[in-house]
């Protein structure tokens, strides 16, 4: 794990990645007062626990106050944010899991293989067993001496338990709107281009007024905010591959490196350099993991 807060100070936030387990990424935040988010989404399945303090958890239209013992769940694409209450100290741990890996496990557990990923209807639980199991998995993943077989086995065991406790929905959670989904897909597929509103409207066969109104209701953000989120997802992938920050800013469609820095910090509460640090060290050492400094 890599300390991203700077030398000789108490770390605020740490990321963990291991090139031997490419389907999972972890983050731990020790003082959430200094790590605040705008509404955003992930392409991965996200699950986390609150380990201290209180915060406000937003997920789609839901708004909950959460504290120690809470397990929060975000399906891929769920617009969410979690921020401190009145500058109160709070801390948490997160896991980000490749959707295809989790869908494959769901199919092995008997869920319909004709549907890809099965979304979870529950976005919050305080089930003690699941909270404890999450922390056990987190500790195994980030242990300096853990072996891949041990880590992979722990991940399968935990997400099997997650399926049992959270019981994913057998059907899509939201009513489908094919044209809005077409608009979102068009933005995703062309996120590195300088898109215009008429481009999206034409692709989705929707009027501008309807698109703006209905898109925000469906996805929790405007088409432009959705575009910026997709660019950040693209940037994350490129940073993990070791691309330079200035290069990534250009590749992702940002005006310059400073523009990428601002958007990245706003949505992920970390700079591109802080996020990339673990993967840089992996490439340098070849060790396949990071240890706390």
- For residue 168, how far is the Cα from the chain centroid? 18
> Would 96 be classed as within a structural domain?
yes
Structural contact between residues 60 and 41, judged by C-beta atoms closer than 8 angstroms: no
The confidence score (pLDDT) of residue 144 equals 87
User: Does residue 146 share a domain with residue 42?
Assistant: yes
The structure tokens listed for 172 are 């899509």
Q: For 193-239, how does the pLDDT look when each residue is reduced to its tens digit (9 = 90+)? A: 999 989 999 999 988 888 888 898 888 888 999 999 999 999 999 99
The structure tokens listed for 105 are 């496990």
Distance CA 70, CA 2 (A): 25
User: Does residue 62 share a domain with residue 155?
Assistant: yes
Mean pLDDT for all residues in the chain: 85
Question: Which of helix, strand or coil describes residue 130?
Answer: helix
Q: For 50-74, how does the pLDDT look when each residue is reduced to its tens digit (9 = 90+)? A: 999 988 899 988 999 999 999 999 9
User: Does residue 111 share a domain with residue 15?
Assistant: yes
Q: What's the total number of domains in the chain? A: 2
The confidence score (pLDDT) of residue 169 equals 58
Q: How far is CA 239 from CA 79, 233, 260, 282, in A?
A: 22, 10, 12, 13
Distance CA 291, CA 281 (A): 10
- Residues whose CB falls within 8 Å of the CB of residue 103, separated by 6 or more in sequence, listed in order: 116, 117, 118
Return the CA Rg of the chain. Answer: 19
The confidence score (pLDDT) of residue 176 equals 57
Which CATH number characterizes residue 151's domain? 2.60.120.280
User: Does residue 206 share a domain with residue 101?
Assistant: no
Of the candidates 141, 166, 191, which is a domain's last residue?
Answer: 166
The confidence score (pLDDT) of residue 4 equals 39
Q: What is the mean pLDDT of residues 154-159?
A: 94
Could you tell me the pTM of the whole model?
0.77
Please, what sign has the CA dihedral across residues 126, 67, 48, 184? positive
What is the residue range of 161's domain?
Answer: 2-166
Distance CA 238, CA 265 (A): 16
Q: What is the mean pLDDT of residues 188-193?
A: 94
The confidence score (pLDDT) of residue 166 equals 87
> Would 293 be classed as within a structural domain?
no
């Amino acid at each position: 794990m890599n300390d991203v807060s700077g030398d000789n100070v108490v770390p605020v936030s740490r990321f963990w990645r291991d090139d031997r387990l490419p389907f999972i990424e972890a983050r731990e935040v020790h003082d959430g007062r200094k790590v605040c988010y705008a509404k955003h989404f992930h392409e991965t399945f996200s699950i986390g626990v609150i380990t201290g303090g209180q915060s406000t958890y937003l997920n789609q239209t839901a708004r909950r106050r959460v504290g120690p013992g809470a397990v929060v769940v975000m399906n891929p694409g769920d617009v969410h944010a979690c921020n401190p209450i009145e500058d109160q100290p709070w801390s948490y741990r997160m896991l980000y899991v490749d959707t295809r890996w989790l869908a494959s496990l769901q199919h092995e557990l008997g869920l319909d293989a004709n549907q890809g990923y099965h979304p979870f209807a529950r976005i919050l639980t305080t089930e003690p067993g699941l909270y404890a199991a999450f922390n056990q998995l987190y500790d195994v993943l980030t242990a300096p001496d853990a072996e891949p077989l041990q880590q992979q086995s722990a991940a399968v065991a935990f997400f099997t338990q997650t399926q049992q406790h959270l019981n994913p929905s057998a059907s899509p959670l939201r009513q489908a709107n094919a044209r809005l989904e077409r608009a979102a897909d068009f933005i995703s597929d062309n996120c590195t281009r300088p898109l215009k509103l008429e481009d999206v409207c034409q692709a989705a066969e929707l009027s501008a007024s309807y698109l703006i109104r209905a898109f925000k209701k469906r996805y929790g953000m405007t088409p432009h905010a959705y575009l910026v989120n997709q660019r950040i997802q693209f940037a994350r992938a490129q940073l993990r591959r070791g691309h330079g920050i200035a290069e990534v800013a250009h590749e992702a469609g940002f005006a310059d490196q400073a523009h990428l820095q601002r958007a990245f910090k706003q949505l992920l509460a970390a700079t591109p350099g802080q996020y990339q640090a673990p993967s840089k060290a992996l490439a340098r050492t070849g060790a396949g993991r990071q240890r706390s400094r």
